[in-house]
Each structure stands twice: as C-alpha cells, then as structure tokens.
Amino acid sequence: MAAFATADICDANERLLESGDLRILHPVFKIYGRSQAFFGPIVTIKVFEENLLVKELLEAGGEGRVLMIDGGGSMRRGMVGGYLAQLAKNMGWSGILVNGCVRDVEEINACDIGIRALASVPRRCNKNRIGEIHVPVHIGDALIRDGEWLYADSDGILISKTELSITPAKN
C-alpha cells in the first residue's frame, strides 16, 4: 500500500472539509498494529460488548475495506484481540477502527494491520451474535455510513463521502 499523509489530503481538499464531505474524527483513538497508515471503503457494524458478528464479517473477507466497529465507546470489554486482528489481515482487510477497546495488545502490535481504538482492556467480549451490520454509526460527533471512505495515519483519521485521490507522502 502506498504511503500517504492525511495532512496532505486535508491540504488538497479544503473545499470538501468546508462542505462536510470530508470529516476529521476527534483525535481520541490510539494506534495499534504494525500498519501505521491504512485506507479503504468502510463496512459498519454496531455492537455492544459483543463480537461474534465482528468475527463473521472478518471471515467474509475484506478486499481492502476498513471495518468500523461502533462498540458504543464501552471501556469494559475488548472488541478485537490478537486472533481477530490476524484474521482481518489474513482475510484482506485494510484496517479496523473500534469505538471501544481492544485486548491482546502485544499480539495486535505484532500483526501487520492498522487498528485504531479508544484504549485496551483485558476482558473479552460476549458471544451472543447481537448487533446491526451496514447501518449508519455515530463516532464522536460524526455520522458515518457504510461505503464511505476512511483514511488513517499517525496524524489522524479522515472520513470521506467518496474515494479521494491520494499522492505519496512527502519526505
């Protein structure tokens, strides 16, 4: 995957930022995984302290997409652990954003995938298969829809209504 910079994307798309077609997520997400920068079309899922549907989505294959998990911001259970991170990588997902926590941080950080989450916590999720897939989700003050695009690097996370042209990051 070509390197890019979200700062350069913002500079090149000021009109989209002003119109709201390109949004910057609040800088509350921590960086996990070996891939510092990732992008792709978004697949949304809304679950709460539950990750069986997350596993099923990851198993279906990513084809370069980004899984956006709205876990309601829960800080009590890890939505994604080492096993799911490796599964995502193996199944072709570009990255994962978790509005909640991860666990197994050492395993995740050894995996060549990009993951953003609010924090880490050691407790695992429930396995009840409860949730909604491909629905709009609210992350912070942003409404995010299935099929929009996510661009993440060490500077931040962008959400675009459409795919953006990206150029390699300046050195």
116 is in an annotated binding site: no
SS3 171: coil
SS3 111: coil
83 is in an annotated binding site: yes
Per residue in 10-31, pLDDT (tens digit) is 999 999 999 999 999 999 999 9
150 is in an annotated binding site: no
All structural domains of the chain, each given as residue ranges with its CATH number in brackets, are 6-160 (3.50.30.40)
Beta-bridge mates of residue 38: 152
104 is in an annotated binding site: yes
81 is in an annotated binding site: yes
Question: Could you tell me which of 141, 28, 32, 132 has the C-alpha nearest to residue 80?
Answer: 32
11 is in an annotated binding site: no
Quick one: pLDDT band at residue 88, thresholds 50, 70, 90?
very high
Per residue in 33-67, pLDDT (tens digit) is 999 999 999 999 999 999 999 999 999 999 999 99
Question: Which one has a higher pLDDT value, 66 or 168?
Answer: 66
Measured CA to CA, the distance from residue 54 to residue 6 in angstroms comes to: 27
Which distant-in-sequence residues (6+ apart) come within 8 Å of 90 by Cβ? none
Question: Could you tell me which of 167, 154, 165, 164 has the C-alpha nearest to residue 23?
Answer: 164
- Do 152 and 6 contact (CB within 8 A), yes or no? yes
Measured CA to CA, the distance from residue 32 to residue 116 in angstroms comes to: 6
Task: Answer yes or no: is pLDDT of 141 > 90.
Answer: no
The DSSP output letter for 36 is -
SS (H, E, C) 11-28: HHCHHHHHHCCEEECCCC
SS3 82: helix
Considering only the C-alpha atoms of the chain, give the largest distance between any 2 of them, rounded to a whole number of Å. Answer: 47
Q: What is the mean pLDDT of residues 112-118?
A: 98
Measured CA to CA, the distance from residue 126 to residue 124 in angstroms comes to: 7
